[in-house]
Amino acid sequence: MLKVTFTLLSVIVAVALGQPGCGPDEYMCSDGICIPANWECDRWDDCADGSDEVNCACEHRCPDGKCIEENWICDGWTDCSDGWDEANCTCDFQCPDGRCIPSHWVCDGWNDCSDSWDTVDEQDCPCPGETVKCPNVNKCIPIWQWCDADGIWDCPEGTDQANCTMPSHSMKKSNTFTHHDDESLNKLTKEDQAQRKRLNQMYRRFNSQ
Instruction: Tell me which architecture the domain covering 2-55 has in CATH.
Output: Irregular (4.10)
Q: Where are the beta strands (DSSP E) in 13-133?
A: 26-28, 34-36, 60-61, 67-68, 93-94, 100-101, 131-133
pLDDT in tens, 50-78: 889 888 887 888 888 788 888 888 877 88
**One-letter amino acid of 34:** C
Same fold, 58-89 and 90-124: yes
Of 44, 15, 45, 16, nearest to 32 (Cα)?
A: 15
The pLDDT, as a whole number, for residue 86 is 84
Query: What's the confidence (pLDDT) of residue 29?
Result: 94
pLDDT for the residue 192? 59
Give mean pLDDT, residues 146-167.
76
14-18, 94-98, 120-124, 173-177, range with the lowest pLDDT: 173-177
In this predicted structure, what is the pLDDT of residue 33?
93
**What are the structural domain ranges in the chain?**
2-55, 58-89, 90-124, 131-208
Distance CA 180, CA 165 (A): 7
- Report d(CA 178, CA 61) in Å as an integer: 66
CA distance 62 to 37: 24
Q: What percent of the chain has pLDDT over 90?
A: 10
Specify the CATH class of 90-124 in words: few secondary structures
Average pLDDT over residues 89-117: 77
Provide the total of helices (H) and of strands (E) in the chain, helices listed first: 4, 8
d(C-alpha 22, C-alpha 203), whole Å: 78
The model's pTM is: 0.34
pLDDT tens by residue, 11-52? 454 444 444 689 999 999 999 999 999 999 887 889 998 889
Mean pLDDT of the chain: 72
Torsion of CA 137, 139, 144, 145, to 10 degrees: -70
CB neighbours of residue 188 within 10 Å: 17
User: Which pLDDT does position 168 carry in this prediction?
Assistant: 40
Four-residue CA torsion sign, 16, 22, 23, 27? positive
Radius of gyration of the chain (CA): 31
Cα–Cα distance, 76 to 91 (Å, whole number)? 9
How large is the average pLDDT for residues 152-181? 58
Architecture of domain 58-89: Irregular (4.10)
pLDDT given for residue 203 in this prediction: 53
> Could you tell me where the beta strands, DSSP code E, fall in the chain?
26-28, 34-36, 60-61, 67-68, 93-94, 100-101, 131-133, 140-142
